[in-house]
Amino acid sequence: EDQTPNVRLKQIILDVRAEVEAGQPLSRAMGKYPRIFDNLFIGLVRAGEVGGVLEETLQRLSGFLEKDVELRRKVKSAMTYPVIVICVALGIVIGLVTFILPRFMQLFKDLGVKDFPMMTQMLMDFSHFLTSRWYIMIAILAALYISFKLFTRTKIGRRLYDLFKLKAPVFGKLNHKICLARFSRTLGTLMASGVPILQAMETVAGTVANEIISDAVLAARARIREGDRIGDPLQKSKMFPPMVVQMISIGEESGALDQMLAKIADFYE
């Protein structure tokens, strides 16, 4: 609490400390703040409390969070160059349409040219619209952005958007690898901390950040509860590559599932 510079977090830690002093378990005290301490955090702390190895689970949790931050940093750095290229390209196109094209339009008008090909006419109309009614364009873009945000908050919209993120050219494969890395790292951390497999799968489904893969994990959890092996339902979902399924199966047979999951996470990261 004394070392925390964030005022909001300092107040939360103070409240958690007060709850623990009053006799509440640490996991339950943290559970009051789901925006700060997610399901993975609470699940690992609870497992550490039950097993009497809280310091070990907190060490694993810190390692997991550091890996997650490192993965996000890698993705952001990889995305920096294409984002800059796209922004520069859009800026050049907008500059051509708003400043250069009107001069050509005036030149054609002075020359008495009236009939243009359809694509040329469409480009000229767009240029005129952008220069004379730019505020309508801004309003349209704002309305599209708000509509997209509202749509992705619905269950159907979120599923369609998550499916698009997995199927999109170039970025779909990248996003799929991110989800697989997070699935493996989270499940491996939970298993190594002694969390039961069914509870671990449920926690992973809530932290994988993709509805399609989350549904596949929950379906696999249901099959495991019926007595199936871990790898078989994951293979049937078509969301997990053969290498992932085979390494999980080997880990399950050899009793080293958490180590295999860590290797999968390292590979995809």
- Distance CA(21)–CA(202), nearest Å, equals 30
For the chain, the maximum distance between any two Cα atoms, rounded to a whole number of angstroms, is 88
Reply yes or no on whether the pLDDT at 196 is more than 90: no
- Distance CA(204)–CA(185), nearest Å, equals 9
CB 10 within 8 A of CB 177: no
CB 163 within 8 A of CB 212: yes
> What pLDDT is stored for residue 144 in this prediction?
94
CB 36 within 8 A of CB 45: no
> What pLDDT is stored for residue 104 in this prediction?
81
Query: Quick one: what percent of the chain has pLDDT higher than 90?
Result: 31
Q: How many CB atoms lie within 10 A of CB 129?
A: 13
Q: What is the pLDDT of residues 214-262, one digit of tens each?
A: 999 999 999 988 888 888 888 888 889 999 999 999 998 898 898 999 9
- Distance CA(31)–CA(53), nearest Å, equals 19
DSSP 9-62: HHHHHHHHHHHHHTT--HHHHHTT-TTTS-HHHHHHHHHHHHHT-HHHHHHHHH
Q: How many CB atoms lie within 10 A of CB 20?
A: 14
CB 65 within 8 A of CB 189: no
**124 confidence band (pLDDT: 50, 70, 90):** confident
- Distance CA(233)–CA(187), nearest Å, equals 16
> What pLDDT is stored for residue 85 in this prediction?
94
**Mean pLDDT, residues 133-154:** 90
CA-based angle 219:223:225, to the nearest 5? 115
Residue tagged 């497992």 (tokens): 47
Average pLDDT over the chain, rounded to whole?
87
CB 127 within 8 A of CB 103: no
Reply yes or no on whether the pLDDT at 114 is more than 80: no
* Bigger pLDDT: 112 vs 241: 241
